[in-house]
Structure formats: C-alpha cells, structure tokens
Amino acid sequence: MAKITFIVNNDEKILVEGDSGNVMQLAVNNNIAGIDGDCGGVCSCATCHVFVAEKDFEKVGKAGEIELEMLELEDYASDFSRLCCQIEVSDAIDGVELTVAKEV
C-alpha cells in the first residue's frame, strides 16, 4: 500500500492510498483536480503532468524517452516533471508528494 500526497492548485494537500495501477488512474479515482488522463494512461496526451517533490524524485524515478519528449508539449515542465500515468503505484513510492501542474 502506498500513500501519495497530491498538491492541487499549489496549496490544497490531498492524501490518497493505492496498491496497484498507475498514479493517473489513482488520481482520477480520487477526484484530484487537474489530472485528466484523456488518453487513458498511454503517454499520448500529456494531461496528467505532475511535479515530483525534489526529495522524492529518486524514489519515483526518471521519465522514459517518449514521456520526456511529450513533456515538451508542456510550457512549464521542469527537471522534476513526470506524466503520472507512467508511474506505477507500489510500495516503492509510499510517502511521495506530487504537485499537479495544471491549476484549475
């Protein structure tokens, strides 16, 4: 079981729990604003952009090749950007903090 904190609109913190699937679907299932996941989680739409907290980046890991390229569609991507449909929910990411890029 992994506990994940989403920071929405840069201030509201929402703690959710999950044990499988990807982080985008976990966010959608928990009504996290700003995570759309229009393509259903196949790294095709760049609507699930999060900034991983610096302290957690190693735990979450780097973006893959196509993911990194897709992030170029985002104007505000940083070194800590990920498309969260490409992050697996597992014990390995327990406790991480993700800031949703899109403010709503």
Say how far apart CA 44 and CA 70 lie, in whole Å. Answer: 8
| Residue 40 binding another protein, by CB under 8 A | yes
**Quick check: 10 and 100 in contact, CB under 8 A?**
no
| Residue 21 binding another protein, by CB under 8 A | yes
Which residue, 31 or 55, has its beta carbon nearer to another protein? 31
Instruction: From 9-17, 32-40, 52-60, 90-98, give the range in contact with another protein by CB under 8 A.
Output: 32-40
What is residue 25's three-state secondary structure? helix
Q: DSSP for 43-95?
A: SSS---EEEEPGGGHHHH----HHHHHHGGGSTT--TTEEEGGGSB-SGGGTT
Which residue, 37 or 50, has its beta carbon nearer to another protein? 37
Member of 14, 39, 56, 102 binding another protein (CB under 8 A): 39
Which residue, 70 or 98, has its beta carbon nearer to another protein? 70
* Interface ranges with another protein (CB under 8 A): 21, 25, 28-31, 36, 38-45, 65-70, 72-73, 104
